[in-house]
């Protein structure tokens, strides 16, 4: 069983490998019981959103952490992947601006995803 940080690292690696735009990691464990980490990113199209979701699901499933719930996959505007302690939000540009989760959870600690990738095995 992977730690929430290890799940976050693998999810970010999958998103980065498939060219997700503007990846943000919010450490939410001190501000909500929903999850330890939120990962927010933007896709360039509905097809790209599906690719990002599929790659994240595949990489984590192979590591023994299958997605618990997937929402919005068919619509592509906002796809949510729930891994329990980590929630991945894949937005279209318009939906990301509209929902502004980055601002809604602005009291959460932000982590630099590029630094996180450097420590990914």
Extract long-range pairs of 50-54: CB within 8 Å, 24+ residues apart: 50/76, 50/79, 51/18, 52/14, 52/15, 52/18, 52/20, 52/79, 52/90, 53/79, 53/81, 53/88, 53/90
Q: How many CB atoms lie within 10 A of CB 86?
A: 28
Q: What is the pLDDT of residue 120?
A: 62
Regions of the chain where pLDDT drops below 50 = none
Q: What is the pLDDT of residue 1?
A: 86
**What CATH number is associated with residue 99?**
3.30.460.10
Which structural domain range is residue 30 located in? Answer: 4-118
**Total count of domains within the chain:** 1
Q: Give the relative orientation of helices 46-62 and 4-17 as an angle to the nearest 10 degrees.
A: 140
Q: What is the pLDDT of residue 23?
A: 97
Q: What is the pLDDT of residue 119?
A: 79
Q: What is the pLDDT of residue 118?
A: 87
Q: What is the pLDDT of residue 30?
A: 93
């Amino acid at each position: 069983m992977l730690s929430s940080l290890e799940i976050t690292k693998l999810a970010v690696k999958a998103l980065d490998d498939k060219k997700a735009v503007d990846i943000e990691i919010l450490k939410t464990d001190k501000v909500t019981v929903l999850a330890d980490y939120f990962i927010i990113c933007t896709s360039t199209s509905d097809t790209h959103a599906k690719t990002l979701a599929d790659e994240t699901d595949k990489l984590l499933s192979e590591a023994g952490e299958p997605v618990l719930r997937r929402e919005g996959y068919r619509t592509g505007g906002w796809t949510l992947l729930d891994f329990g302690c980590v929630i991945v939000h894949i937005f279209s540009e318009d939906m990301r601006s509209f929902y502004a989760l980055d601002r809604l959870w602005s009291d959460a600690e932000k982590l630099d995803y590029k630094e996180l990738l450097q420590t990914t095995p």
